[in-house]
Every structure is written in structure tokens, then in C-alpha cells.
């Protein structure tokens, strides 16, 4: 049903549509999949199949978001298992009144998970287009000390850091510029192609 060509077209169309429509991409850990047209489908933005590769995360790390919405709030949840249907452990949140790249600290210590397990991070964004979803499949290792270790597509650190639960956290200059925002998301969508394409072969 899906072909690389139609996926590419969808991503290009999605990127082009960002000037008028506000969406977001979970850039780190690498997301399960992004398609603007179905990003409102719970629980994972229309992607029900887990990623072939998983980033390893410890109890405390940061996730990175590119948000093309001028006014948004996110809640980050964790679900345990190979392909969880429920995401019942809240592990982070943030809100912003600017577009841009944001870092959200997540904390899994409250989940009391003592052994290495598979799980999925779910990011739920509420903004101008309603409620949108992104997921990242991970290996959780309670003894991993810091950030994500991943072979994923995102190497650079976020330009703007958000703090959890902070309201009205402004982005620095550039984040509110629609043209910059559109280009940022277009880049992100194109960057995700190598990650997404193998899923459809």
C-alpha cells in the first residue's frame, strides 16, 4: 500500500503545508514515523508498527522536539512492553508560546522499573490543530547514566531548551519566524526519510 514514492510525496506535502498548519516532530529519540496527515491519530500519530531499531535511554534524559505551532503544550508518557497499547506513566511535560526546537527532560524513576525492558515514549501535543501524537520505541535501561545512545538521524543538540511544567517559555529569536519554522520542519522531514523508508520496504 505504501511506497517510498508516496511516502516522499506525503512528507514533501507535509513540509510545504507547515506555513499554514502547525505540527511537530519528535526528533530524538528517533520517532516511529511522522505523517502530518495522520498525526492526530492516537496513540502514535498513525504509526502502529514499532521501529526496527531502538535508542537506549536511562531514567533521566532529554527528548528533542521541533514544534511548528506558535502555542503548544506537550505531555510525555511511557508505555512498557514491545508495542504498548497503554501509556500510563507520565514522565515529562512542557509548554511554549513560540515555534522552534525544544528539549524536554523526562524522568522515568517514578515508574520503579528495575530491569532493562522495551518500551515506547509517547509525546502528546495540544496546539492550534488539536491533539497530535508522536512515539519513539526505546530500550529502557535503569542503569544507563545519561542521555540517549542512538544511531538515529539527529546529532545536533536542540537550540532552545524548555523546562518541564514551565508556562510561557519563550523561544529565542528566530523561533517565531514562520519562514524559519517552515524550513526547519522541512529539513526535519527530509532528514527523517532515511529512517522512515526502510519501514516501508
Ligand X SMILES: *[C@@H]1O[C@H](CO)[C@@H](O)[C@H](O)[C@H]1NC(C)=O
CB of 5 to ligand X, least distance (A): 18
Stretch that binds ligand X, among 115-123, 133-141, 156-164, 193-201 (CB under 6 A): 156-164
Residue 179 DSSP SS3: helix
Q: Which of residues 118-147 bind ligand X (CB under 6 A)?
A: 146-147
Per-residue mark of binding to ligand X, 51-80 (x: CB under 6 A)? ---------xxx---x----x---------
Residue 127 DSSP SS3: strand
CB of 140 to ligand X, least distance (A): 14
Residue 149, CA distances (Å) to 54, 63, 155 in order: 9, 12, 11
Q: Is 101 in the site for ligand X (CB under 6 A)?
A: yes
Of the two residues 9 and 146, which places its CB atom closer to ligand X in the complex? 146
Per-residue mark of binding to ligand X, 172-201 (x: CB under 6 A)? ------------x--xx--x----------
Strand pairing report for 60-67 and 89-96: unpaired
Q: Which of residues 27-46 bind ligand X (CB under 6 A)?
A: 27, 46
- 5-42 in b/e form (b: 16+ CB < 10 A) is eebeebbeebbebbeeebbbbbbbbbbbbbbbeebeee
Amino acid at each position: 500500500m505504501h511506497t517510498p514514492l508516496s511516502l516522499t510525496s506525503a512528507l514533501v506535502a507535509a513540509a510545504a503545508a507547515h506555513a499554514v498548519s502547525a505540527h511537530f516532530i519528535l526528533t530524538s529519540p528517533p520517532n516511529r514515523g511522522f505523517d502530518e496527515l495522520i498525526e492526530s491519530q492516537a496513540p502514535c500519530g498513525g504509526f502502529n508498527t514499532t521501529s526496527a531499531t531502538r535508542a537506549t535511554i536511562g531514567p533521566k534524559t532529554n527528548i528533542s522536539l521541533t514544534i511548528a505551532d506558535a502555542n503548544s503544550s506537550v505531555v510525555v508518557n511511557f508505555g512498557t512492553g514491545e508495542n504498548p497499547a497503554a501509556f500510563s506513566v507520565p514522565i515529562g511535560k512542557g509548554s511554549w508560546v513560540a515555534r522552534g526546537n525544544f528539549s524536554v527532560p523526562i524522568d522515568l524513576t517514578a515508574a520503579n522499573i528495575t530491569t532493562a525492558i522495551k518500551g515506547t515514549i509517547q509525546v502528546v501535543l495540544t496546539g492550534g490543530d488539536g491533539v497530535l501524537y508522536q512515539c519513539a520505541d526505546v530500550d529502557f535501561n535503569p542503569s544507563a547514566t545519561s542521555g540517549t545512545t542512538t544511531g538515529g538521524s539527529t546529532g545536533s543538540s536542540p537550540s532552545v531548551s524548555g523546562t518541564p511544567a514551565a508556562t510561557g517559555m519563550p523561544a529565542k529569536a528566530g523561533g517565531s519566524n514562520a519562514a524559519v519554522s517552515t524550513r526547519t520542519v522541512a529539513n526535519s522531514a527530509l532528514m527523517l526519510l532515511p529512517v522512515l523508508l526502510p519501514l516501508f520496504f
